[in-house]
């Protein structure tokens, strides 16, 4: 097995086996330096300490260090600890460590809620009530489907807030959408679905997760009315009908009916990612697609946008024929949200505090969207503004290019994303994806002003 050494304050995990001897140890240390686990300029363990921890002769480590110093990986000095060479002095064959991008000063990255709005007091109260009411047996190994209290509460909440047709027996609790798409892709592939379609554009992370679990991923075009159902020819498809991500269009009523009819006629499965359905501003709430075909549509919701991504708390409302296969796959995955978080979430909904929190956030996000729109110059075309936590900016004509605007934003420490990275295949359009949820309330004005200046610089 691999040995590790970590008391020096740096991660010195070594993929090394004793039988590989001195040559293997040198190779393992080179790999640690190339991977950045032994960071440039950091002190390495003393020869005595590393030899003791690895169970080898001190002379072996001394000779390895000497060899690596001669090769340029380590640097030594009289009376000073041996250190990893600085990035500029590493051998040409060793990839330079890639520096991490610092957190932006002005955070307009999409897909993030306002974390400062997390209802700490309400969550704490809900957790206390959950602890007080939970029987001793609740702290045993958790049920594969999730806490019964949460599934019963979700069935009622989703019915009234999103129009979802569900009963607790068809709801399974998962660790967010990433977990859900991994499980669903695995189950569908095992049932013969060798392909899964995604809207084009869409978030590449979920496409990669689906592909890693068996099915081949293909893209389906999106127009001003949502996904083009006539282009579908896959046994499963992932859609964001309430607020397409990232373009922001809402799936038109005719397309909704067409999509569910297609699923029923072909036996396909539609996976509905309702990632921000609670946040609609300009029109009456758009109900869940699942209500039109509950035996063909898998509804997936999470707390990532309403509360916080780090809760890793989500739920699937499944067609009856998928409940047992997905439950089995969930159990095999070994991942599930913490029981206490599930019970607290149930309490939060039951008490009405969750609805109150959603209403407060909806008012705040609408205000932010309006301020952002007011700050934008007339030369840009905002899209997807009726809902959610982001909008898309497109620039008429051929200039400026997306990369030019992104560069101007980076110079001002503005964090946002370009549309080009979301396409499957060649980018079909350019633009900016601007999130207005992440910035702290006191910083939002400065963020919008910095963005305005960046756009004016290149237009």
User: How does residue 230 score in pLDDT terms, banded at 50, 70 and 90?
Assistant: very high
Together in a domain, 193 and 295: yes
- pLDDT tens digit sequence for 40-73: 888 888 888 888 878 788 888 888 888 888 778 8
Mean pLDDT is highest, among 133-137, 189-193, 398-402, for 189-193
| Cβ partners under 8 Å of residue 4, min gap 6 | 12, 13, 14
The stretches of 386-443 forming alpha helices (DSSP H) are 402-411
| Cβ partners under 8 Å of residue 3, min gap 6 | 14, 16, 18, 53, 54
Together in a domain, 389 and 283: no
Q: What angle do CA 143, 146, 149 make, to 5 degrees?
A: 105
Q: How far is Cα 190 from Cα 157, in angstroms, rounded to an integer?
A: 32
Side-chain-side CA neighbours of 200 within 13 Å: the count stands at 18
Q: How far is Cα 349 from Cα 154, in angstroms, rounded to an integer?
A: 8
- Provide the domain limits for residue 70: 18-89
Q: How far is Cα 149 from Cα 153, in angstroms, rounded to an integer?
A: 6
Q: What is the CATH number of the domain that holds 306?
A: 3.40.640.10
pLDDT at 96: 54
pLDDT at 1: 44
CB-based contact 246:392 (threshold 8 Å): yes
- pLDDT tens digit sequence for 201-217: 999 999 999 999 999 99
Together in a domain, 424 and 437: yes
Together in a domain, 186 and 235: yes
Tell me which of 354, 384, 403 is where a domain ends. Answer: 354
User: Among 6-15, 188-197, 229-238, 373-382, which stretch is predicted with the lowest mean pLDDT?
Assistant: 6-15
pLDDT at 459: 80
User: Among 93-97, 114-118, 149-153, 389-393, which stretch is predicted with the lowest mean pLDDT?
Assistant: 93-97
pLDDT at 8: 43
Quote the tokens at residue 364.
């705040």
Together in a domain, 347 and 376: no
- pLDDT beyond 70 at 307: yes
Q: How far is Cα 246 from Cα 244, in angstroms, rounded to an integer?
A: 6
Together in a domain, 418 and 435: yes
Q: Coil, strand or helix: which one is 420?
A: helix
Together in a domain, 138 and 49: no
Specify if 10 maps to a domain.
Answer: no
**What's the distance, Cα to Cα, between the start and end of the chain in Å?**
58
**At residue 299, what are phi and psi to the nearest 5 degrees?**
-95, 130
Together in a domain, 192 and 277: yes
User: Among 16-25, 156-165, 425-434, which stretch is predicted with the lowest mean pLDDT?
Assistant: 16-25
Specify if 240 maps to a domain.
Answer: yes
User: How does residue 95 score in pLDDT terms, banded at 50, 70 and 90?
Assistant: low
pTM over 0.95? The answer is no
Specify if 249 maps to a domain.
Answer: yes
Quote the tokens at residue 233.
């020819």
Together in a domain, 222 and 206: yes
- pLDDT beyond 50 at 89: yes
Pick the more confident residue, 86 or 165: 165
- pLDDT tens digit sequence for 412-452: 999 999 999 999 988 888 999 999 999 999 999 999 999 99
Specify if 394 maps to a domain.
Answer: yes
- pLDDT beyond 70 at 91: no
Question: How many domains is the chain built from?
Answer: 3
Q: How far is Cα 299 from Cα 183, in angstroms, rounded to an integer?
A: 14
The stretches of 104-239 forming alpha helices (DSSP H) are 120-133, 148-162, 176-190, 204-212
Q: What is the CATH number of the domain that holds 392?
A: 3.90.1150.10
pLDDT at 235: 98
- pLDDT tens digit sequence for 337-360: 999 999 999 999 999 999 999 999
Pick the more confident residue, 8 or 13: 13
pLDDT at 5: 44
Q: How far is Cα 319 from Cα 322, in angstroms, rounded to an integer?
A: 6
């Amino acid at each position: 097995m691999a040995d590790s050494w970590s008391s020096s304050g740096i991660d010195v995990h070594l993929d090394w086996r004793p039988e590989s001897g001195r040559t293997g140890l040198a190779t393992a240390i080179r790999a640690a330096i190339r991977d950045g686990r032994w960071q440039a300029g950091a002190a390495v363990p003393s020869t005595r300490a590393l030899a003791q921890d690895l169970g080898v002769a001190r002379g072996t480590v001394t000779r390895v260090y000497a060899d690596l110093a001669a090769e340029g990986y380590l640097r030594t000095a009289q009376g000073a600890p041996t250190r990893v060479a600085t990035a500029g002095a590493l051998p040409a064959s060793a990839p330079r460590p890639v520096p991490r991008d610092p957190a932006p000063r002005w955070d307009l990255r999409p897909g993030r809620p306002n974390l400062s709005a997390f209802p700490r007091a309400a969550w704490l109260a809900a957790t206390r009530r959950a602890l007080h009411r939970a029987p001793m047996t609740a702290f045993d190994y958790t049920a594969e489907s999730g806490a019964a209290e949460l599934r019963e509460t979700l069935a009622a909440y989703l019915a009234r807030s999103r129009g979802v047709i569900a009963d607790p027996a068809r709801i399974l609790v998962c660790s967010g959408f990433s977990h859900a798409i991994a499980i669903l892709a695995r189950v569908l592939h095992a049932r013969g679905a060798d392909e899964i379609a995604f809207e084009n554009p869409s978030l590449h992370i979920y496409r990669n997760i689906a592909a890693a679990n068996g099915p081949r991923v293909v893209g389906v075009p999106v127009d001003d009315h949502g996904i083009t159902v006539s282009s579908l020819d896959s046994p499963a498809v992932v859609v964001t009908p309430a607020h397409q991500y990232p373009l922001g269009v809402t799936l038109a009523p005719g397309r909704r009916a067409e999509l569910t009819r297609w699923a029923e006629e072909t036996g396909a499965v539609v996976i509905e990612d309702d990632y921000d359905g609670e946040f609609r501003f300009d029109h009456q709430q758009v109900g869940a697609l699942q209500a039109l075909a509950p035996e063909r549509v898998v509804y997936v919701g999470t707390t990532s946008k309403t509360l916080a991504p780090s809760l890793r708390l989500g739920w699937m409302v499944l067609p009856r024929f998928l409940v047992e296969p997905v439950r089995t796959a969930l159990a095999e995955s070994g991942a599930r949200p913490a029981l206490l978080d599930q019970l607290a979430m149930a309490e939060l909904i039951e008490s009405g505090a969750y609805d109150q929190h959603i209403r407060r956030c909806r008012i705040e996000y609408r205000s932010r969207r309006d301020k952002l729109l007011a700050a934008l110059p007339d030369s840009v075309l905002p899209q997807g503004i009726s809902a959610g936590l982001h909008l898309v900016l497109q620039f008429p004509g051929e200039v400026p290019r997306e990369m030019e605007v992104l560069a101007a934003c980076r110079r001002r420490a503005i964090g946002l994303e370009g549309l080009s990275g979301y396409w499957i295949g060649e980018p079909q359009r350019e633009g900016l994806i601007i999130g207005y949820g992440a910035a702290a309330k006191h910083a939002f004005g400065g963020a919008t002003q910095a963005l305005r200046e960046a756009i004016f610089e290149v237009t």
